[in-house]
Structure 1
Amino acid sequence: MNTQKLSFPQDFWWGSAWSAEQAEGRGETGKAETVWERWYKEQPYRFYQGIGSEITTDHIHQYKEDVQLMKQTGHNSFRVSISWARMFPNDGTGEVNPKAIAFYRDLFEEMNQNDIKVFANLYHFDMPAKLQDRGGWESRQVVDAYVNYADTCFKEFGDLVYHWFTFNEPLGPILGSYLEDFHYPNIVDFKRGAQAAFFTILSHAKAVEAFKKYNLTSKIGVILNLSPTFPRSQNPADVKAAEIADLFYTRSFLDPMVKGTFPEKLVDLLKDHDQMPVDFTESDLACIAENTAQILGLNYYEPRRVKARLTAVNTEGPFFPEWFFENHIMPGRRMNEYRGWEIYEKGIHDLCMDIKDNYGNIESFISENGMGVADEERFMDENGQVIDAYRIAFIKDHLAYLWKAIDDGCNIKGYHLWTFIDCWSWINSYKNRYGLVSLDLATQKRTIKKSGEFYKKLSDENGFDYDVDLFV
């Protein structure tokens, strides 16, 4: 065994992330109905064990205790999301909610007083339902409402936030709402999805533009879910399939939000198949070009592996990216069987190197990485602590390749785990647990897992011992 201390740069951001809809609960502040609450009312049977987001981790009532748990698990930074529906409880517009402002100011002040930097995300899948009724991200009216909401947040919380993010995983609602049926309103229409994607990107740019006028010391960026794309082989057909998959799932948001331009090959492909958005102007494109991310969050969970299609496309059916490739199940891959995701630690290095080599080495951090496991009660000791050695190993293995990326010159400033306390995971509810802290849903009791103790030591020592012979 060749054990080495892997030390990270000074002032490295150690922390985790979650979202308002997944952790806060409704509370008494007033809150507009979100698309998730609407969908749960309409189709509760689609949510695991029929659990919605009414209470979740009840953070809105327990935030002071939770901040202390952040300290006890080694956090020097934490990413929250602000609830648009809570800030504007009528329908996402109108008068701002003073009770929401008071809650978030109290939370952010509590974090700052405990030396935990506030990373504030403005949108994490939680569209106010009445704005969805007006067209959601397909509507310019909703773009304007989002920019007004973002501007309000900069004004009300700018003195307390360390870094800002316009969106978390903006690709997710496009895939879920317009292609793959896992987000409300469950439409299958790529062209409408392309319009929603364009207006999401425009909303990002307009929010960056609004942010600049406040001259804050913080930066503003975006958080993207990115997977390095690998072809099955170097056969030209497989390589082309991987290139097209990468255009749809990686470059589609990364290029305009970081570079200010859209990938020409993707635009040409959409034109060829009559899938371009119909509502965009030259001034929109200029705004996108001039207002790009100042910092980039990288959510990494698994690689993407594809191959050339083996079967014909039904051109009478809806247009899908998968017209141009098929997913490849690599023989011998390691899996997190609970979530159905491949475990491939080296992918985090590949991702960071892509950002270094192709995106100006923009200041970045790992904004999500984690392991969801079902029925963690199996691993509780007699004191009720989850002994999650598997999660500790997962974190170490990914951090080792992140350390290597930094050693190779990548401008990576931190690592945020998904997540802090076990939280509600959309239609999966509490099926898979990701937290450093376990949650008893019936009592809301929090208990630090073994991984939470490890994370505190990791943060305190700014590194860990690792067998470097495991690098491949």
Structure 2
Amino acid sequence: MQKLDFPADFLWGTATASYQVEGAGHEGGRSESIWDTFARKPGAVYGGESGEIACDQYHRYKEDIALMAELGFKSYRFSLAWPRIIPEGTGKVNPQGIAYYRAICEELHKYGIKACATIYHWDLPQSLQDKGGWTERFITEAFVEYAKVCFAELGDLVDQWITINEPYCIAYLGYHLGVHAPGIQDIQAAIKAVHHVNLAHGLAVKAYRKTGLKAPIGITLNPSTPRPATARREDKKAAETARAVETEVFIYPILGKGYPELVTKKLGLVIPVKDGDLETIAQKIDFIGINYYAEYPVAFDKKEPFKYGAKPSWQDTSDMGWPLVPEGLARQLRWIGAVSGGLPLYITENGYARQDYVEKDGRVHDRERIKYLKQHLKVCSDLIKEGVKLQGYFAWSFMDNFEWAWGYSKRFGIVHVDYITQKRTPKDSAYFFRDLIAGYGEG
């Protein structure tokens, strides 16, 4: 077998998000988020489940971090919960929330693990959604107020900052398709959210640069760079449109390129840009985080709102129904590397959902996940040799958790969680990463 070869300073991490793992929904001064509200909506979340208990990491973080250290991980990407830090969204800061995240960072550092903090991973305080949430411009100032608190209270402990996770999901899944919180179905609301998420990011980076803190700061996108279903001109155009609507509306303004004309002129979408907004969004960032799981073929479809639609794939799929296309990651890394002018890149999420069980031998033998990981890591290794500035990889996810609208029915973790007893059981994939990080990874 060919060895998976990575630079000695490559950053190996694993990742989670606050609402998916923390639990303690009514402890430590935390207020309600849009996901608490959404989970109570009949039919919104599989089985009527919620993140109220989740993996109970709020109480078990020391156990989890010790396991990360045992497996050799060098960084932990976790997210800060806005409702835990500023329960009303703006105003009074909750000292218990600050103390919790300081304790996480200190525990990580005890083992020599870097703290990679995502400021926003979808759990908006419900009080702010009641005023319109990401569809209203006020949210950008509320966000920068929150970000400033994070910088001031945690800046001495955080080693890497991510402003926002997956703007696409915030805007389109939350406000257009309605399958994520807050569950709104309105295209124009989604387009407003696109701009306000971008602006919030820019304001946060601008504020960060004034703090004097030196840790790198960037953003995590889940870019869609689909391939055309056929060689027909209309399908090639459909793929370009899909990339513009789902990815370029975020990455272009962040990189100082403005909004793509394909969206603003050809599709005629009205983005609420005010004077100075584009300059604010285009703050210098230190890296781009990329979350990659799958790639889809798309074709022209005049019945769809944006005139394109996804088509069936021939590849095997994960338990999410997502096609397994490692070559898509290669296409994406090359494109983003070129568009960004060689900005450092990190894979901030990559993983595979399957039905996992603890066998009679007390182990979880997730061979399909390991196959998926090897294929995608081989792409990463090859692209680094090709010259793409990929500097790290965070496995999604450290442990099984609340998978948003899918509840607890999908397992992405490299550590199995028994949701009744909260027992953690490392899967074979966890030991695969242990070997890989130690320099013994086979492709």
Which of 346, 361, 365 does residue 327 from structure 2 map onto? 346
Match of 2:224 in 1: 227
Which of 203, 215, 230 does residue 218 from structure 1 map onto? 215
Distance in 1 of aligned mates of 2:264 and 2:384: 33
Distance in 2 of aligned mates of 1:146 and 1:260: 23
Distance in 2 of aligned mates of 1:454 and 1:396: 9
Q: For residue 33 of structure 1, what is the amino acid of its counterpart?
A: E
Which of 310, 325, 338 does residue 357 from structure 1 map onto? 338
Match of 1:456 in 2: 434
SS in 2 for 1:221: strand
Offset of residue 296 of structure 1: 0.6
Tell me: CA distance 1:304–1:293, structure 2 relative to 1, closer, same or farther (3 Å).
farther
Tell me: CA distance 1:292–1:182, structure 2 relative to 1, closer, same or farther (3 Å).
farther
The 5-angstrom pairing of residues 51-200 of structure 1 reads 51-89=49-87, 91-200=88-197
Whether contact under 8 Å (2:253, 2:278) holds in the other structure is no
* Residues 1:325 and 2:313 are matched in the alignment: no
Offset of residue 186 of structure 1: 2.3
Distance in 2 of aligned mates of 1:81 and 1:175: 21
Match of 1:5 in 2: 3
Distance in 2 of aligned mates of 1:302 and 1:74: 27
Offset of residue 260 of structure 1: 4.9
The 5-angstrom pairing of residues 385-404 of structure 1 reads 385-404=363-382
Distance in 2 of aligned mates of 1:189 and 1:46: 17
Distance in 1 of aligned mates of 2:142 and 2:175: 21
Match of 1:334 in 2: 316
For 1:261-283, what per-residue CA distance to the aligned partner results, in whole angstroms no more than 9, with x for missing partners? Answer: 22122221243xxx303x43112
* Gap regions ≥5 residues in structure 2: none
SS in 1 for 2:190: helix
Match of 1:470 in 2: none
Match of 1:288 in 2: 281
Tell me: CA distance 1:119–1:260, structure 2 relative to 1, closer, same or farther (3 Å).
farther
Q: Report the TM-score, using the length of structure 2 for normalisation.
A: 0.96
Tell me: CA distance 1:346–1:154, structure 2 relative to 1, closer, same or farther (3 Å).
same
Distance in 2 of aligned mates of 1:82 and 1:248: 28
Match of 1:264 in 2: 261
* Residues 1:435 and 2:413 are matched in the alignment: yes
Whether contact under 8 Å (1:392, 1:454) holds in the other structure is yes
Match of 2:24 in 1: 26
Distance in 2 of aligned mates of 1:10 and 1:258: 29
For 1:279-320, what per-residue CA distance to the aligned partner results, in whole angstroms no more than 9, with x for missing partners? Answer: 43112222123x1432110000001211122xx53xxxxx82
Distance in 1 of aligned mates of 2:176 and 2:281: 25
Distance in 2 of aligned mates of 1:259 and 1:10: 33
Aligned length: 442
Q: For residue 388 of structure 1, what is the amino acid of its counterpart?
A: D
For 1:211-238, what per-residue CA distance to the aligned partner results, in whole angstroms no more than 9, with x for missing partners? Answer: 0011222111100002321011222111
* Residues 1:37 and 2:28 are matched in the alignment: no
Q: Report the TM-score, using the length of structure 1 for normalisation.
A: 0.91
Whether contact under 8 Å (1:74, 1:458) holds in the other structure is no
* Gap regions ≥5 residues in structure 1: 314-318, 467-472
Offset of residue 417 of structure 1: 1.0
Q: For residue 40 of structure 1, what is the amino acid of its counterpart?
A: A
Distance in 1 of aligned mates of 2:222 and 2:425: 29
Distance in 2 of aligned mates of 1:47 and 1:5: 41
Distance in 1 of aligned mates of 2:317 and 2:388: 27
Offset of residue 46 of structure 1: 2.9
SS in 2 for 1:464: coil
Tell me: CA distance 1:29–1:245, structure 2 relative to 1, closer, same or farther (3 Å).
same
Match of 1:14 in 2: 12
For 1:300-343, what per-residue CA distance to the aligned partner results, in whole angstroms no more than 9, with x for missing partners? Answer: 0001211122xx53xxxxx822xx1222223x32222x211000
Which of 410, 433, 436 does residue 388 from structure 2 map onto? 410
Offset of residue 194 of structure 1: 0.8
SS in 1 for 2:14: strand
Offset of residue 73 of structure 1: 2.2
Tell me: CA distance 1:42–1:229, structure 2 relative to 1, closer, same or farther (3 Å).
closer
Whether contact under 8 Å (2:436, 2:442) holds in the other structure is no
State the structure with more CA Rg. Answer: 1
The 5-angstrom pairing of residues 221-260 of structure 1 reads 221-260=218-257
